[in-house]
Structure 1
Amino acid sequence: MPEKPALYVAIVATASGALFGAGTSLVNDLSSEYGTFGRGLADSPFVPALKVSSILFDAGWSWAALAVLTGWYAVWARRGAERAAPIGAACGALALLGASVGYFCADAPLRREPLSSHLVEMVVWSIASLVLGPLLGAIGSQVVRKGLIGMFAGLAVPAGAVAQTLLLRVSEPGRTGAHTTAEAIVCVAAAAVAVFVLARTLRARRLMDVPPEPGARTPTAEAPITRSVMDDHLG
């Protein structure tokens, strides 16, 4: 696959964030019996699934995961660009910024309120996106690495998801079956991702310990960074 232009990657990051934010607002509306569209689904069999989806999309870790995934995508699309961390950081910020704006732009009409009434919240969350997005995007840019750095970067989202789920559990009387289901999904998914990341790291270390065959070419210190990053990603 040819390397994508930087502008294309930035647009994809921003658009993905906007769709995520608007989608989160829509799912929240659909899952509520007081929502513009949700009131018509009060007796629908899809309501339990919508409530679980709302809990998952509304969680802070899922927004962090958006920035991390966008950071990973940016490096993949740019074919392991030499400055992976800055590219990932920029796209992480754009994704969260797009998500914040998209959320409030969708939330206002769904609540039948003017956008101006959400302006302060939108500015606050946009600033937070520009502060936290670069860090999360930079973490995502390191996921392609198969050493310890790549392992820790790959474990960041599942660890954060489990921590938030267990430490910020909804207590009675507000707790419902949807919360229990969402917590189970988070824990199972986080465990699966953690196993994959750890297995990838162990496999990479075993391959490094295998002595090269006689006459085989070995990478040199002069090899460009772009090759080393992509070799890690594709290997």
Structure 2
Amino acid sequence: MKVLVGALTVGAGFGALTSLINAVSHHYADLESRAATTSGVSAIEIVSVLVDSGWAWAGAAVAVGWLFTRVGESGPAALARGAAAGALALLAAVAAYSVMEVARSGEPLSSWHQEEPLLWWVTSVVFGAPLGVVGACAGRPGVIGLLTRLTVPVGAAVQMIVLPPGRNEVIEAVGRTVVWVGAAAVIAFVVVRFLGAERRRHSPAGVESL
């Protein structure tokens, strides 16, 4: 029950916040201006394209899978809990995003479930479950833990190459730079921390403590 409520709460908060940021961004963007369309940029718009990117939604599922798995827990139960948390979080995020979009458009709230295509609901489960498992493994020691902790920053960096977000080249360039710098910093931190932990584990003092 704790996993259910927690995953739904975090997911709904993320979806609602994403919709709200998008709304503010669109409000201040002059999409009818040629100059704004080709080169206009604002801080809130950068935040919008980053939060509403695929890697951010994937990161939310990974984070929830990590949050609702007990420290040191492993085995099928932990993986199942992570999978359920990741899928539920993304379903709640899509639902909250849909409700916010319907509310902003002035349409009846009863139509919220029709706001987003069926594809996004299916994707929430298909990708949310394995991403939640990744999060459940993020606290593990060794190579598995390292690889799972690198999933989000590496995925974010790759997306900036394959599909950078933004409505013009300036926003794409700024967003790409922000994500690459952030991803590089996170990757460096994770790798350095992993190497330090491995060094301590294999040091004479670490062996004696065992």
What is the TM-score when the length of structure 1 is the normalising length?
A: 0.75
1:86 aligns with 2:80: yes
**Residue 189 of structure 2: which of 196, 202, 205 is its match?**
196
CA distance in 2, matches of 1:213, 1:99: 43
CA distance in 2, matches of 1:118, 1:34: 28
Change (3 A) 1:170 1:120: closer
What is the TM-score when the length of structure 2 is the normalising length?
A: 0.84
CA distance in 1, matches of 2:101, 2:206: 61
1:151 aligns with 2:146: yes
Letter in 1 for 2:164: R
State the percentage of identical aligned residues: 39
CA distance in 2, matches of 1:217, 1:208: 9
Q: Which residue matches 1:228?
A: none
* SS in structure 2 of the partner of residue 109 of structure 1: helix
CA shift, 1:180, in A, is 2.2
Letter in 1 for 2:44: L
Change (3 A) 1:34 1:205: closer
CA shift, 1:72, in A, is 0.8
Gaps of at least 5 residues in structure 2 are 30-40
Q: Which residue matches 2:131?
A: 136
**Residue 168 of structure 1: which of 148, 153, 163 is its match?**
163
CA distance in 2, matches of 1:157, 1:213: 30
- Any idea what the Cα deviations from partners look like across 1:14-66, whole Å, max 9, x if unmatched? 1110011111111111111389xxxxxxxxxxx81210111011101100000
CA distance in 1, matches of 2:209, 2:170: 58
Kept in 1: contact 2:53–2:165 (CA 8 A)? no
Q: Which residue matches 1:33?
A: 27
- Any idea what the Cα deviations from partners look like across 1:154-189, whole Å, max 9, x if unmatched? 111011101111111369xx4143332221111111
CA distance in 2, matches of 1:170, 1:49: 14
Kept in 1: contact 2:165–2:172 (CA 8 A)? yes
* SS in structure 1 of the partner of residue 73 of structure 2: coil
Q: Which residue matches 1:109?
A: 103
- Any idea what the Cα deviations from partners look like across 1:66-106, whole Å, max 9, x if unmatched? 0001111112xx34334321111111111101101011011
Gaps of at least 5 residues in structure 1 are 1-6, 36-46, 219-235
Change (3 A) 1:117 1:154: closer
Q: Which residue matches 1:12?
A: 6
Count of aligned residue pairs for this structure pair:
196
Change (3 A) 1:197 1:206: same
**Higher Rg:** 1
Change (3 A) 1:170 1:49: closer
Change (3 A) 1:206 1:170: closer
Letter in 2 for 1:102: A
**Residue 69 of structure 1: which of 63, 68, 72 is its match?**
63
Q: Which residue matches 1:211?
A: 204
